[in-house]
Each structure stands twice: as C-alpha cells, then as structure tokens.
Amino acid sequence: MTETRMQESPQHKPGSFCWVELGTTNASAAKSFYKELFGWEYDDSPASPEMPDMIYSMIKLRGRDVGGLYSMPSDMLAQGVPPHWLSYIAVANADEAAAQAKAAGATLMKEPFDVMDAGRMSVIQDPTGATFAIWQTINHPGTGIDRELGASCWNELGTNDTQKAQDFYTTVFGWGTEKMPGPFEYTIFKAGDESVGGMYKIVPEIMGPIPPNWMVYFAVADCDATLQKATELGGRVLAPADDIPDIGRFAILMDPTNAAFAIIKPVTPEE
C-alpha cells in the first residue's frame, strides 16, 4: 500500500495492475453507494454489439476512467458467482499469458477474447483459487487515475498457500518478492522496482472462512470517516479500521450488494 501519488497518465506496464471491475447483482444500488462514497460518475453503454441489453458502466473520477461496473448475467448467477471486484493485470499478449498461466497450474475461467476494439482479456483462477483477469491493451489502456483519492491504489492476495501462489505469480508475470518484517507474514509483489501488490496467508481461526481472493483497496482522505459514511449508506464492516505502521490506516467493507473491498488512508511523507 504505497502512498497516494498524482499522475496525469499512468503507464500500465506488463505485470502491473491496470483496471478494476465490479460485477454486481444490483447496478443501481452499487452506483448510488459508490457515488456517495467516492464521488464517482458513470458512463453507460452496451457491453457489446452482441449483447445490446447488457449495460457496462464506465466508472469516472474527475473525468477519467477508473474502473467498470456491470450487472452479472444469468449464467454467472447460475454458477453461483457472488458479487465481486475483479483486478486486472496488464500483459503484452493475452493469449501467451493465459497459456503460461494454464501451464503453471491455473484454470482459465474465460479463454482469451476480444472486448470490441478496447483490448483482449482472459479471466483466470490461480492454483490456490483466487480469481483475476489479464488485459492486453488495444485502444483502452486501463485506469486513467492511479493511486489517487477515490481510485484504486493497491491489490492484495489472500491465499491458503502462499508458496504455491508465489511460485505461480513469479513464474507467469516475472514478479519479484519482498518479505515484510513483523509477526504477520506479508509479501510484496514487485514488477521491477515498483511494488504492485501484496500477499498474506489466510488464517481461518482469526479471519474466518475467507475464500482465496484478490482484494481491491481504494485511497481515501480519512479512513474512519469513510468507514462511518459507508455504513450509513448501507455497507457492512468486515474488518474495522486499523493502523499498519508506516503504511496507513485501513478497513475492509462489504457494499450493499455484498461485494467486498478495502479502503486505506495512506501515510504521507510528512507523517
């Protein structure tokens, strides 16, 4: 969870997180909740020419794209897919990356496919059960605001097998790893010199029956105030506000449609 930084045009190099997307059972309720919480606006359009009735909402913040939102179709609901935030990782070639992931033990939930002329993607479940997506840019590079207030700022893997997960992600994306000191096992994933994500081991005795997952963090100016506002808007607290020394103050929430996400007030250099 690195500090918030202002960037006019984020450069999403291969191996870095480039997009977040909410699949929900109630797009209207989700839009209202996040608009009040983060100040988001939305630009609605058909998901594709083949599915004119399925609406994809581009999430806008200060005029820039920061994510997507859609109502899950019937086939996803029939499969028991819960409301969720999905993290996207940039790749140079979606077909090659998907093949590498499969060879490394992953399951391709959706084989590589084109998203009109925006890009090419695949949805992948890693060998430990956490799901993410890969994105090959054609005309849409991903989020236009990175690590600013109201935008995604960190992606974190919770898994039951950190060694298997580490082997997978370092093999497929070439990530380096850095173990953080302290009593709680935490690993930073690095693309070159840049910290791009984190990983921790799920401890059911302490955390409950959490499935392996990639959690999206959004940067906020005040963690406690945002947490209170979220509950007033119908959200639910999964983990109360707590401090991470030298990193920031965070909390984990569930929105009114039961999609989990996290917020963090990053520590600034002055602090």
Q: Give the Cα separation of 201 and 179 in Å (integer).
A: 12
What are the beta bridge partners of residue 46?
55
- Does residue 51 carry a pLDDT above 70? no
Evaluate if residue 267 carries a pLDDT over 90: no
Domain ranges in the chain are 7-271
Taking domain 7-271, whether its CATH number is 3.10.180.10 is answered by yes
Pick the more confident residue, 270 or 156.
Answer: 156
| 133 closest CA partner among 173, 177, 178 | 173
Please tell me whether the overall predicted TM-score, pTM, comes out greater than 0.85 for this model: yes
pLDDT at position 183: 72
Asked whether residue 114 carries a pLDDT value surpassing 50, the answer given is: yes
Average pLDDT, the chain: 90
Per-residue pLDDT, 129: 97
Instruction: In whole angstroms, give the CA distance from residue 68 to residue 75.
Output: 19
Mean pLDDT for 222-226 is 97
How much of the chain, in percent, has pLDDT values that exceed 70? Answer: 90
pLDDT value of residue 49: 62
pLDDT of 48 above 90? no
* pLDDT tens per residue, range 147-198: 889 999 999 999 999 999 999 999 999 999 999 877 778 999 999 999 999 9
Mean pLDDT score, 90-107: 98
Checking if the pLDDT of 77 tops 60, the result is: yes
Higher-pLDDT residue of 103 and 247 is 103
Give the pLDDT score at 9.
Answer: 46
Q: Give the pairing of strands 131-137 and 84-90.
A: parallel
Q: What is the 3-class SS of the chain, one letter each residue? A: CCCCCCCCCCCCCCCCEEEEEEEECCHHHHHHHHHHHHCCEEEEEEEECCEEEEEEEEEEECCEEEEEEEECCHHHHHCCCCCEEEEEEECCCHHHHHHHHHHCCCEEEEEEEEECCCEEEEEEECCCCCEEEEEEECCCCCCCCCCCECCEEEEEEEECCHHHHHHHHHHHHCCEEEEECCCCCEEEEEECCEEEEEEEECCHHHHCCCCCEEEEEEECCCHHHHHHHHHHCCCEEEEEEEEECCCEEEEEEECCCCCEEEEEEECCCCC
Nearest-angstrom CA–CA distance, 120 and 93: 8
